[in-house]
Amino acid sequence: MSEKFDFFSDAPVVDPAIVQVAAEPSAWLTLGGPIGLVFFFLLICFLLRWFIPFRDTPLHFNLRDLPVAAQRGIGLSTVLFGIAFFFGLAEVHYQLGVHGSTDAYFENMTQGKLIAFTHAHLFGFTTAFFIIGIPFSMHFHRVQTYQWVFPAGLAAALTDIISWWGIKYISPNFDYVTMFCGAVYGGAYLWMLIGIIRIIFFPNLRWFPDDINEGRG
């Protein structure tokens, strides 16, 4: 460093020894990281299918057979979770409007806040999916594709949370993983939510999965 350099001067910095810029992450991280994270999501689904293959269990469960108070409570809880879900979407829209992009939002977030953010969302996603996913999956116990909605949505939620750390510390390319996972768990969540509301509040509204579930399809 030059001894004549004045830190309080308005002159431009020309000495390369003074300006030190962190090296850009390699393509292995900026491109391989997001791709690897998508494969992580697929690996979770594969392991679930490997260890817990689909089979027709002896349990026959119908939400309409529950006591009236349970039906009312589950129905109301599902509606409230739906309202909370849309407020979550409104929060995402608001933050994107304030910061301009997802990577700018996470860049301005401190590590401590990201830790708290991760902690809260891990609990929130798990609780919400558990409360809605269990009755939904138990009701449609014979519909094989429906048995993927609950676990796949939860796996996507976990992958999404991991991608936030990738956006902040590795590359904005992890935002594509966030969008993919958001579509997966958002679609799964809404599908289960609508399914439970339809079963409890509109039992006469039927479609082909009902026949499959009752052994008629």
CA Rg value for the chain: 24
d(CA 211, CA 185): 26
Q: Identify whether 200 is part of a domain.
A: yes
Number of C-beta neighbours around residue 74 at 10 A? 21
Q: Which of 152, 150, 145 is nearest to 131 (CA)?
A: 150
| Stated pTM of the model | 0.86
Q: Identify whether 124 is part of a domain.
A: yes
d(CA 161, CA 196): 26
Q: Identify whether 59 is part of a domain.
A: no
CA angle 60, 61, 65 (to 5 degrees): 125
Q: State how many domains the chain has.
A: 1
* Domain span at 120: 74-213
Predicted confidence at residue 59, as pLDDT, reads 81
Q: Contact 167/177 with Cβ under 8 angstroms?
A: no
* 45 or 18, which is more confident: 45
pLDDT of 54 strictly over 80: yes
Q: Identify whether 68 is part of a domain.
A: no
Predicted confidence at residue 138, as pLDDT, reads 94
Residue 15's pLDDT band (cuts 50, 70, 90): low
**Checking phi first, is residue 100 left (phi over 0); if not, alpha (psi -120 to 50) or beta?**
left
